[in-house]
Amino acid sequence: MPQFAVILPAAGKSSRFGDPRGKKPFIDLKGRPVWLRAAEPFLRRDDVVQTLICLAPEDVDWFREKFRPQLAFTNIELVAGGKERADSVENALKLVRPDVEFVAVHDAARPLIVKPWIDAVFQAAVAEGAAILATPISSTVKRVDREKRIEETVPRDQLWAAQTPQVFDRKLLVEAYAKRGAFQPTDEAQLVERTGVRAVVVEGSPFNFKITTADDLKMAEALFDSLPKEKVLKSLHPFSDEMF
């Protein structure tokens, strides 16, 4: 069975979230913090042997104390992040165990991920070396100028909205980061593209969205109970709700 490590970037400033309670990965969602909701499906997998969460350096000690009860039931490793997302992921990548064959990067603010979608993208990554979850663009897309006037309608038949997890052969991702230089990609697939490798797209779900604004959190709360459920005995799992 291939072995996977999972990196959860959570070092951003959450500048667009606008909630006085704190940064978006640390806010409660149905009784647990968003970051833990994002991590849980990976923590329950036998093929995931290492999980790392990237935090702003100033948040590391606070996070360790704030979430001590949750961390007590996991082997999650805390990693000091960098200025940009790619810097944080690169810091974590350096700590991935040498026996790990594949690395998955999943946004800590993307809490509505479930096992079937992970299964699909993991299987594709093993077969192809690089795979991401994504959804086809269904809305009409407009390109606008700086004054927000429409310049053109963009054909959408080959457009997909990238999601996470994004999963790569470890050696491939290490190579991509080694060649990064000063380039700041918006996701790992963009960085891997620069090596000449094209990741395969696996169709995900619109439910698997990233929380960016306070309205996104409200939507996640509304959708949470509609997710596919995986039955787990409470007595056997420290993270179980009545049903996952």
pLDDT at 234: 43
| pLDDT band per the 50, 70, 90 thresholds, residue 21 | low
Write down the residue that tokens 């457009």 correspond to: 159
- Comparing C-alpha atoms, which of 37, 79, 36, 84 is closest to residue 59? 79
Pairwise CA distance, residues 169 & 104, whole Å: 9
Pairwise CA distance, residues 24 & 129, whole Å: 31
Query: Which are the contacts of 175, defined by CB distance < 8 A and separation ≥ 6?
Result: 195
pLDDT tens digits, one per residue of 230-244? 654 443 344 555 433
For residue 78, what are its two tokens?
């805390």
* Percent above pLDDT 70 for the chain: 90
pLDDT tens digits, one per residue of 57-100? 999 999 999 999 999 988 999 999 999 999 999 999 999 999 99
Beta pairing class for 32-33 and 102-105:
unpaired
pLDDT at 23: 79
Write down the residue that tokens 């309205």 correspond to: 215
The CATH fold assigned to 4-232 is Spore Coat Polysaccharide Biosynthesis Protein SpsA; Chain A (3.90.550)
pLDDT tens digits, one per residue of 213-224? 889 999 999 999
pLDDT at 214: 87
As a whole number, the mean pLDDT across the chain is 90
Average pLDDT over residues 128-152: 95
Phi, psi angle pair for 6, to nearest 5°: -120, 130
DSSP 8-state secondary structure symbol assigned to residue 236: G
pLDDT tens digits, one per residue of 183-225? 999 999 999 999 999 999 999 999 999 999 889 999 999 999 8
* Percent above pLDDT 90 for the chain: 81
Number of alpha carbons in the 13 Å side-chain half-sphere of residue 53: 27
- Comparing C-alpha atoms, which of 67, 82, 99, 88 is closest to residue 2? 99
3-state SS assignment for residue 91: helix
Question: Sign of dihedral through CA atoms 178, 182, 186, 190?
Answer: negative
Cα–Cα distances (Å) from 192 to 99, 101, 171, in that order, read 21, 16, 11
Task: State the Cα torsion 75-80-81-83 to the nearest 10°.
Answer: 170
3-state SS assignment for residue 26: helix
